[in-house]
């Protein structure tokens, strides 16, 4: 994986005025959000406020009613999810969504589809992923469904990295993970950023992990109601927007 270098002035991900509805219900309301190159940004908010809907809209799994989404110079709005993946977005969904009956190797190979040309052109798993997650190299033939929750989370991140993304969308990577494994997941994300230079948009409830990000955005009823450096996160904001 090569090191991605992007200027700090131009945002890598730029979201403007994003509004998304499910049927008649408006879920996202006029959301503006930016992620700069090499940055980790954390989106916080209580259950059901629209965090997953925002990531799915960025990934192209849901079509917004209004707004703009840019990745660098590229307008993502008209693109289907696989083209957004090939444009440089890696997506690790809430609940991980690894394929339980496929082996670890075959789950990882699915991530190669996100490279330009897909599996037809890329057959080799990126070896750097085994430096980041040495444990996965020892269980390539094991069924994904037989892995522990923490191992499945590592597999889901490693799968997304096979596409060599510029931006990783991580939706609650520590949800349902044993407390003693939460720190491992947090460190894995730190390693990914240090070794690849990619940016991360994280949805997370654990305060320690949230504080690893430089910037936070707090969501309520589908709108961004507070944002700023995580260094400035007050106890009042934490109590209001985090549930762990």
Cβ(112)–Cβ(119) below 8 Å: yes
Query: Which of ligand ATP, Mg ion, none is residue 122 near (CB under 5 to 8 Å by kind)?
Result: none
Query: Which of ligand ATP, Mg ion, none is residue 83 near (CB under 5 to 8 Å by kind)?
Result: none
Round to whole Å and give the CA distance between 18 and 30: 5
**Which helix or strand (DSSP H or E) is residue 83 part of?**
helix 81-87
Backbone φ and ψ for 94, nearest 5 degrees, come out as -60, 135
Is 9 near ligand ATP (CB under 6 A)? no
Can you give the binding site for Mg ion, defined by CB under 5 A? 51-52, 94
Closest approach of Cβ 172 to ligand ATP, in Å?
6
Cβ(167)–Cβ(89) below 8 Å: yes
Round to whole Å and give the CA distance between 98 and 104: 9
Cβ(199)–Cβ(13) below 8 Å: yes
Q: Within positions 148 to 207, which residues make up the interface with ligand ATP, using CB under 6 A? A: none
Count of residues touching ligand ATP (by CB under 6 A): 11
Is 242 near ligand ATP (CB under 6 A)? no
Stretch in the footprint of ligand ATP (CB under 6 A) among 46-54, 95-103, 147-155, 160-168? 46-54
Is 45 near ligand ATP (CB under 6 A)? yes
Chain centroid to Cα 53, Å, comes to 13
Tell me how crowded residue 193 is: count the other CB atoms within 10 A of its CB: 17
Q: Rank residues 21 and 135 by Cβ distance to ligand ATP and give the closer one.
A: 21
Q: Figure out which of the listed residues 29, 51, 84, 109 binds ligand ATP, where binding follows CB under 6 A.
A: 51
Query: Which of Mg ion, ligand ATP, none is residue 174 near (CB under 5 to 8 Å by kind)?
Result: none
Overall size of the chain counted in residues: 244
**Which spans of this chain sit near ligand ATP (rule: CB under 6 A)?**
22, 27, 45, 47-53, 94
């Amino acid at each position: 994986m090569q090191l991605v270098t992007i200027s700090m002035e131009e945002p890598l991900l730029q979201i403007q005025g994003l509004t998304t509805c499910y049927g008649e219900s408006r879920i996202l309301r006029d959301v503006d959000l930016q992620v700069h190159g090499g940055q980790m940004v954390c989106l916080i908010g209580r259950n059901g406020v629209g965090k997953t809907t925002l990531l799915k809209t960025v990934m192209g799994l849901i079509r917004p009613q209004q707004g703009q989404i840019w990745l660098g110079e590229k307008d993502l709005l008209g693109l289907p999810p696989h083209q957004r993946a090939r444009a440089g977005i890696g997506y690790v969904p809430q609940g991980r969504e690894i394929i339980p009956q496929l082996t670890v190797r075959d789950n990882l190979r699915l991530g190669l589809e996100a490279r330009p040309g897909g599996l037809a052109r890329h057959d080799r798993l990126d070896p750097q992923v085994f430096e980041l997650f040495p444990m996965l190299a020892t269980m390539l033939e094991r069924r994904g469904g037989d892995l522990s929750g923490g191992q499945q989370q590592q597999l889901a991140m490693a799968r997304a990295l096979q596409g060599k993304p510029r931006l990783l969308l991580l939706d609650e990577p520590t949800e349902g993970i044993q407390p003693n494994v939460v720190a491992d997941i947090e460190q894995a994300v730190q390693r990914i950023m240090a070794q690849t230079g990619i940016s991360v948009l994280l949805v997370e409830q654990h305060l320690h992990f949230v504080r690893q990000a430089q910037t936070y955005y707090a969501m309520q009823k589908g709108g961004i109601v507070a944002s700023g450096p995580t260094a400035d996160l007050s106890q009042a904001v934490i109590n209001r927007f985090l549930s762990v």
